[in-house]
Structure 1
Amino acid sequence: MNTTVHTTTVAHPRSVERLVAGQATSDGAGVKLTRVLTQNLQRRLDPFLMLDAFGSDQPDDYIAGFPDHPHRGFETITYMIAGRMRHRDSAGHEGLLENGGVQWMTAGRGVIHSEIPQQEDGVMEGFQLWLNLPARDKMMAPWYRDFKAADLPKLTTEQGVAVTVIAGDSHGVGGAVTRETTAPLYLDIHLPAGSRFEQVVPASHNAFVYVYRGEVSIAGQTVPVQRMALLANSPEADGVVIEASADAKVLLIAGQPLGEPIAQYGPFVMNTQQEIYQALSDMRDGRFGE
């Protein structure tokens, strides 16, 4: 589904507060990745907890994948740009995530899952975003859904900017997923040379842009490839304007902060240390996935 839309006008665009370079690391069974949103930014970018970017054409960088591991208290959104990944979890869900597809998983009270590449060569590239759950929902039942690329809402502006609406709303096109409390906006935006894209974002939301191809300009600030532009919060700001002098691809992510305590121990994100101890106890006693 691809809709051509008229450009929304942003009267008071946000500026760039600062640029952030991701940290090279590895996770799972040695998968090499870049941690773009790190733990020290969780308060500033509440309700988002983490953003990882992974991409390589060297199988040794990704082939072992992410064997069985637990989660509790938040949601994971995995967006594949290239490659194929098999998901299985303790709630009985299974799916194959392919080029351009999204996997949205609510860990809730606890799930054990694996994400294993289904390829032996070629490029595997994508992103995983962690979205916090409000305290009242942290122990909800796990939920999972796969979206194929063709199922994701898309739009094209008059200037030829192509947008995939993973969550939220853009130019009147509703995303694949909505969440009432955190109200996440998650857009993949492909800007042709010489184009600009305007997106309304509530002043109360925390927001950032991650450039994964080319470079863009936001309020006069150049944002180069593999950099995150943390967008300034301002009471009069009504959105963001992104301009590209050459072809570029970016993620625009925003959400309503929860303003709740964050207690994290690896794959468990709760509100208190006591809840972390309980998660560890439940995991040890085999109560995840019940």
Structure 2
Amino acid sequence: MPTELPVTPDPHPPAPAANPEAPVLRVSGIGKSYGHIRALTDVSLDIHPGEVVGLVGDNGAGKSTLVNIIAGAIRPSAGRLAVDGREVQFGSALDARLAGIEAVYQDLALALDLDIWANVFLGRERLRPGLLGRLGFLDKAAMRETALGGLRRTGIRIGSVRTPCRALSGGQRQAVAVARGLIWGSRLLLLDEPTAALGVEQQAKVGELIAAVRDQGIPVILVSHNMPQVHALCDRIVVLFRGRKVADRDARSMTIEDTIACITGAGLASADAAGSAP
């Protein structure tokens, strides 16, 4: 009897049945400790359809730890995650991806010796239909076409999807990682400094792309140190300070100075002083 080959998930799987009253993602009381060091303490937040949430904080504030927990790369020490109202426990990044959560990290996680299209489908290769697929033959033409479409959505020019990633500039590599996240992220897209290696014009293109994703009802969590970019793109801003959430506000209600004050702790000190005044 022939061995059944694993079926590769479709890059645009149907979204799981959602509870219309539940947020796409609910983070409840999340904590993470490394021995005596607490990276996160009692962090809670909701992410709703079609919103862009800026996650900001100084280095060491816990942003990357929180993103890694949501993406399934790290297991929390305390707290719960729920997707569309159903509690989930991610044992790996694959579990999070199967739940429709896709992350684009600063290090991009690209295999530089592989072509662009192969990086987009790495670990999720498509098989050809029919007998050839059952024999393990890849549908390279379909994967190249899908990868090209994703790259076009970034607005960043790359000559051919057959180009090895090693031959790309830093900005082009970033575009490949962003396109991969957009092709595979169906419920929630996590972007960790997505424009760090891009020029001004290319940053604007990624901003337009984030807005387009939001218009499709897919929420985005944007981690960035670029405060003008955060305020321009985000509907809501969440600030972490020393592993705790210290602000979660409508972006229109905050100035860049307000956000920076929360990031540095100066805003917290002012609030404490005002609260203790007679």
Normalised by the length of structure 2, the TM-score is 0.29
Work out which of the two has the higher radius of gyration on C-alpha atoms and give 1 or 2.
2
Structure with a larger share of its residues in strand: 1
Normalised by the length of structure 1, the TM-score is 0.28
Structure with a larger share of its residues in helix: 2
